[in-house]
Amino acid sequence: ESARRPTTHSYTPFGGTIGFGQYDAPVSVVITSAANPKKGFQVVEVTYDPLVRSPKTGCPEAGTSYTFTAHITTNGEGDVTYHWERSPNDEDPPIGDNLTYKAAGTKTVTWTWLIKPGLPNPDRWVAIYIDEPNMELFPKVFFNTSCE
């Protein structure tokens, strides 16, 4: 007795059938997802204060300082390793540190970027990257370094 093709098919929008093997046998797929894939200790939020520019206007030859303050919040006890990302990075090494949390809470970190006048792109950004435990770049702070 020769094998017969099934009489029911799933069809694609282009008229072909969906199935497996010579006879387009149905394929079942089960997809499961964890309710919370990031269980355990992690940084849950990073917020920033408004940046502080010194001097407030103009571009002195020695450069203008831009000071950034970030608040790093965790969901529990543990160690955090972070660094400041920036663009353009001017080929400087990342500036960062380690923080130890005894319980869930927020710690504040500050970094000052000295930018000399005359750089080609005045549009820049700064953000906190959590190396451990998240391996995650948090929201960016965009700013302009024009002398006006």
SS3 letters for the chain? CCCCCCCCCEECCCCCEECECCCCECCCCCCCCCCCCCCCCCEEEEEECCCEEECCCCCCCCCEEEEEEEEEEECCCEEEEEEEEEECCCCCCCEEEEEEECCCEEEEEEEEEEECCCCCCCEEEEEEEEEECCCEEEEEEEEECCCC
> pLDDT tens, 1-46?
445 544 555 555 555 555 555 555 555 444 433 444 557 999 999 9
pLDDT band at 147 (very low <50, low <70, confident <90, very high): confident
Q: What is the pTM of this model?
A: 0.72
> pLDDT tens, 60-88?
999 999 999 999 999 999 999 999 999 98
Neighbouring C-alpha atoms within 13 Å toward the C-beta of 58: 5
Q: Which amino acid is at 52?
A: V
What's residue 25's pLDDT? 59
SS3 letters for 97-139? EEEEECCCEEEEEEEEEEECCCCCCCEEEEEEEEEECCCEEEE
> pLDDT tens, 94-144?
799 999 999 999 999 999 999 888 777 789 999 999 999 999 999 999 999
What's residue 34's pLDDT? 41
Considering only CA atoms, which of 73, 83, 75 is closest in space to residue 108? 73
